[in-house]
Structure formats: C-alpha cells, structure tokens
C-alpha cells in the first residue's frame, strides 16, 4: 500500500513471534501454508512502523539500514485534525460533564469523531511505541568474556533467526557447534568478531551456477560454542533451547 510502511516478523516459531507481537502492541496471525508448517506473523504498520525502524536502525547491517532510510525518507504522515494529546483532553472534558456536541464544535470535528475517541477506539491513550516500555519476557544474560551486554543481546537475536545449535559430529565428540549463515557480509563479520572466529565465504559451484547471492558462514566449535550456548539459552525460543539442550547433553556424556 502507498505510504504505508510495514515491519513484519514471520516465523514458524509461535513463541518467538508472540514476543515480537507483545513488543509491537499487536496480535499474532496464523498463516496456513497447506502441507508446510503453519507460519505466524506479527505486523506493525504506519507511523508506528517508522518509529520502530528508526529505533532499531543502529542495530542493523548496511542492507537493512539502506531499506529503513528509503522508507523513512518517503513516508508522509497523514494529516489529522486531532492527536493523542487532544484526545486525552476530550476524554477529560467529557468526564467533567461537557457535551459531545460542544466538544465537536470546540475541536472542529464531527460528533461522529468524538464518540469513538470517548470509547477508546481511536486515539487511544496507550503508548504508540510499546516496545520502548515492554520488559516482559526479557532474560538477564550473564556476562560472556569481553562481549558487552548490548552486543550479546544482538548476537542472541541474530542466532535466534539465523543460527543452528548442533551436537558434535562422530569424529569430534567433544566439540558442539554453532552454525549460521547470511548473505550480508557485514552482519556475519560482526557476529564473527564477537565470537572470535573467522567467517567463511561460500563460493560453491551450486551457488555460482544458480546466480544466488554470495553466502557468508559462521562456525563456532568446542568450548567457545558451549560457553555461548549457556550464555544465550535463557533468551531463546523453545526450538532453539531444545537444540542447545540436545547439543550440550551429547557433550556432557562424552
């Protein structure tokens, strides 16, 4: 839709999307994909989406930052006769006995506009940026070496979406692994710096022959992987938590 910016999160992990929806102040929508696993979505639109993009821009890689810049620069907020402050005044004046017709005349709107304001159906008094105040479900992550708490939260979120937590292979039974990949080189390089590993470039014949975007991979093994799994586990969703428990249980018995 023209001039309707959207931020959307779609995953098959409902518990993760529920946390996103709580941050957005919206609801979870289930998407039936036939024979595939049901997908869940949380969506934020309009001015709220622009505010959210602006708040998280500094955490994004260059590709996402460029996309956010393009959206923010092209967005024109709709012209409204009222705002949230005026709506609060209307509700307060009505509570003190002022008539709907008088309020409509004073604020130069139709009485049909005043009634949904009084019913909290429009211009609700709730914060328009709930993610700035939402704290439920946040887990306190323990310190991990030289990784600062903000960086650790960033890494946790990225691995929730892009990572895999794997049991050690038969040939190396004491080294659980964390693997992740993305086409954004700068993002993978940032994660690699935090994990103190070197990212690998996937230039396989299959990728080259199909014309796909280059892929950068991250692999953390052994003690580094175990420490990172323990550190970020409290903040992950159910599926990733189970992956970690399986990977660590194999390590514990070898």
Name the band, by pLDDT with cuts 50, 70 and 90, for residue 102: very high
pLDDT digits (tens, 9 = 90+) for 15-29: 999 999 999 999 999
Question: What is the model's pLDDT at position 141?
Answer: 84
Cβ proximity of 158 and 232 under 8 Å: no
Tens digits of per-residue pLDDT, 10-69?
999 999 999 999 999 999 999 998 889 999 999 999 889 999 999 999 999 999 999 999
Question: pLDDT at position 136, please?
Answer: 66
**Number of CB atoms found within 10 A of residue 216's CB:** 21
Dihedral of alpha carbons 137, 13, 225, 167, sign: positive
Judged against a pLDDT cut of 90, whether residue 176 lies above it is answered with yes
β partners of residue 31: 39
Instruction: Check residue 199 and give its pLDDT.
Output: 95
Q: Which residues contact 222 (CB under 8 A, 6 or more apart)?
A: 174, 175, 176
> Does residue 217 surpass a pLDDT of 90?
yes
Mean pLDDT is lowest, of 186-190, 209-213, 216-220, 237-241, for 209-213
Q: What is the pLDDT of residue 214?
A: 81
Residue 116 has what pLDDT?
92
| Mean pLDDT of the region 122-134 | 78
Q: Residue 190's pLDDT band (boundaries 50, 70, 90)? A: very high
What per-residue confidence (pLDDT) applies to 242?
96
Q: Say what the pLDDT of residue 252 is.
A: 52
Per-residue pLDDT band for 208 (boundaries 50, 70, 90) equals: low
- Please compute the mean of the pLDDT values over residues 197-211 and round it to a whole number: 77
In angstroms, the Cα distances linking 146 to 141, 149, 194, 222 are: 14, 9, 8, 18
For 19, 118, 227, the CA distances from 151, given in Å and listed in that order, are 20, 44, 15
Phi, psi of 210 (to 5 degrees): -90, -5
Identify the pLDDT of residue 80: 79
Instruction: Using only the alpha carbons of the chain, give its radius of gyration.
Output: 24
pLDDT over threshold 90, residue 140: no
| pLDDT for position 22 | 93
């Amino acid at each position: 839709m023209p001039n309707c910016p959207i931020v959307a999160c779609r995953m098959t992990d409902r518990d993760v999307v529920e946390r996103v929806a709580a941050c957005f102040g919206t609801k979870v929508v289930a998407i039936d994909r036939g024979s595939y696993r049901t997908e869940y979505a949380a969506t934020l639109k309009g001015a709220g989406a622009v505010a959210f993009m602006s708040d998280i821009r500094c955490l994004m890689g260059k590709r996402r930052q460029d996309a956010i810049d393009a959206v923010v620069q092209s967005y024109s907020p709709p012209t409204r006769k009222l705002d949230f402050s005026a709506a609060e005044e209307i509700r307060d004046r009505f509570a003190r006995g002022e008539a709907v017709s008088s309020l409509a005349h004073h604020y130069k709107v139709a009485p049909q506009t005043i009634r949904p304001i009084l019913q909290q159906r429009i211009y609700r008094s709730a914060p328009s940026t709930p993610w700035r105040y939402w704290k439920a479900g946040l887990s306190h992550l323990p310190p991990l070496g030289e990784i600062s708490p903000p960086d650790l939260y960033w890494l946790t979120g990225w691995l929730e979406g892009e990572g895999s937590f794997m049991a050690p292979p038969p040939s190396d039974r004491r080294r659980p692994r964390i693997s992740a990949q993305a086409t954004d080189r700068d993002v993978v390089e940032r994660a690699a710096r935090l994990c103190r590993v070197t990212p690998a470039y996937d230039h396989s014949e299959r990728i080259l022959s199909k014309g796909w975007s280059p892929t950068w991979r991250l692999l953390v093994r052994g003690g580094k992987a175990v420490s990172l799994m323990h550190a970020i586990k409290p903040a992950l969703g159910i599926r990733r938590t189970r992956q970690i428990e399986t990977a660590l249980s194999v390590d514990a018995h070898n």
